[in-house]
Amino acid sequence: MDDRIQIMNMDEFKDFMESLGPNAAIKTPQFDRNDGIQPVLPSTDSGWFDRLKTLPPETLKQIGCGIWEEGHYLYPAEWYDFIPAGYEIVDINNEVELFRKGHTDNDRRFGMLPFGFKGEAKS
């Protein structure tokens, strides 16, 4: 069996999708948590989000945050609707931006948003 990846041009891809019928869909993985943790319900207050930066890593993990790298934590996907508009976030590429609901990426991997914050507390 030939297991090499086959590359199609757009016309070939269109024909392929049509051959699969109207119920064909392409899905990308949207991974849920697998650690059994139920994230706490956050406040919509920016002060609440500011206080996260001072919590020890173990506490952040217990309330549902993920660790991207030492000192860089990701918000649980369940928190997307609670993050204050205009709140500063740090994405997984270390780029800083202001949160804009509906504009800021709400993708998830293993239950985490692709952004969060840099913590001040050390383990």
pLDDT in tens, 41-88: 999 999 999 999 999 999 999 999 999 999 999 999 999 999 999 999
In the chain, beta strands by DSSP E: 66-69, 72-76, 88-91, 96-98, 112-118
State if pTM tops 0.85.
no
The mean pLDDT value for 80-107 works out to: 97
What pairs with residue 76 in β-bridges?
A: 112
Q: Report the DSSP pairing between strands 96-98 and 72-76.
A: unpaired
The mean pLDDT value for 96-120 works out to: 95
H helical segments located in 21-105: 46-52, 57-63
Q: Residue 47 in contact with residue 40, Cβ under 8 Å?
A: no
What is the residue whose two structure tokens read 């913590």? 119
Q: Which helix (H) or strand (E) holds 73?
A: strand 72-76
Q: How far apart are CA 49 and CA 82, in angstroms?
A: 10
Q: How far apart are CA 58 and CA 89, in angstroms?
A: 21
